[in-house]
Structure 1
Amino acid sequence: MITIIAATNRPNSNTLKVANYYQAQLHQRGENVNVFSLEHLPADVLNTDMFGKRSTAFQKIQDLITQTTKFIFIIPEYNGSFPGVLKVLIDACDFPGSFYDKKACLVGISSGKYGNIRGIDHFTGVCHYIHLNVLPLRIHIPNIKLELDSSGNLIQEDTIRFTHEQIDKFLRF
């Protein structure tokens, strides 16, 4: 099972729009895909789901993570890295079984001109530590506001071509 993680808790984010775009592209290829936005993490996750504790609300998320064999992380740039809420998700999940020897595809987005290059590098280090195998083709989408139309579809030809290549490689990964 493939799960796309929209790695921010910001409501109505461009991150979620890109996650939905990836989901639509995968559906066109006949794949059944879940999208999980971190805006749906329990508000009190730091108090209820860290250090071996487990709430009923987070257990549903843990079950989704456990059942997933491949992840696509859509990661916005936050202060030159990835959002802290993504690290909270990783830390709250069971270790090592949640991600161990599973596969990941990373997509960085930013409103600036580098597409979250540093954040994707930082998160790759986290992935390596938890034994989450990362597809070598990592995409960086800069100036995200110029990349999406009003319906949330990517519109720049080169970005569409790169995302299609990444998706195809990820399905074979």
Structure 2
Amino acid sequence: MKLTLLSGTNRPGSNTRKIVSIIADLYQDLGHPVEILDLADLPQDIFLPQSYAKKPDSFGRFSETILQSDGVHIVTPEYNGGVPGILKYFIDMLKFPESFEHRPVVFTGLAGGMWGALRPVEQLQAIFGYRNAYICPERVFLPHVSGLLSDDGNLTDASIVDRLRSQATAFVKFAGQLQAIR
């Protein structure tokens, strides 16, 4: 089974990338390595206005990774009470409807505030519901994320690691069951 882990921001030095790295290790431990897509690596020509009409060839790797994936785990920060603009733009640039139609997705949200990105995850659930994705109900929210990370980028609370491991385990099962019927 091929799973993709999406870092939902292009902000330099983002805590999202640190959490993505931790989650990737958890999938590896479960015997399901993931391919990481980092929006910081998006090609600059995707931002040209003509990209709406014709996607640049440099975007092909991103599009194909999603299309070939048996499930997508999205890690999103909360920016100004919502989904980062770059994440929404990325979703909009992907082929419709095949990029997410009947594709399993799961969400991890992180924020500096107390709600742990509840709002952007709810927004993403609406977007992916519209795109006819299968939404795994095992969401994880990480409030006050800076306080959860050590200086070397590891989580300081074992219960958070356990929740992320439980989410990854549930998503592998969820995506595997759906793969059998797709």
TM over 0.5: yes
- Describe how 1:77-116 pairs up with structure 2 within 5 A: 77-116=78-117
> Partners of 1:126 and 1:85 in 2: how far apart?
14
Given that 2:8 and 2:75 are in contact with CA atoms closer than 8 Å, whether structure 1 keeps it comes out as: yes
Aligned match of 2:3: 2
Aligned match of 1:30: 31
Aligned match of 1:63: 64
| Large movers: runs of 4+ above 6 Å | none
Given that 1:70 and 1:103 are in contact with CA atoms closer than 8 Å, whether structure 2 keeps it comes out as: yes
Aligned match of 2:52: 50
- Count of aligned residue pairs for this structure pair: 172
Q: 5+ residue gaps in structure 1?
A: none
> Partners of 1:36 and 1:155 in 2: how far apart?
25
If the length of structure 2 is used for normalisation, what is the TM-score? Answer: 0.90
Q: 5+ residue gaps in structure 2?
A: 175-182
1:35 Cα deviation after fit: 0.9
> Partners of 1:150 and 1:57 in 2: how far apart?
35
Instruction: Give a deviation string over 1:14-48, Cα, whole Å, max 9, x none.
Output: 00110111101111111121111111112231324
Instruction: Give a deviation string over 1:103-150, Cα, whole Å, max 9, x none.
Output: 011000001111011111011100100011111111110011111122
Given that 2:30 and 2:169 are in contact with CA atoms closer than 8 Å, whether structure 1 keeps it comes out as: no
If the length of structure 1 is used for normalisation, what is the TM-score? Answer: 0.95
Aligned match of 2:146: 145
RMSD: 1.1
Q: Secondary structure at the match of 1:49?
A: helix
> Partners of 2:152 and 2:4 in 1: how far apart?
22
Percent sequence identity over matched residues? 28
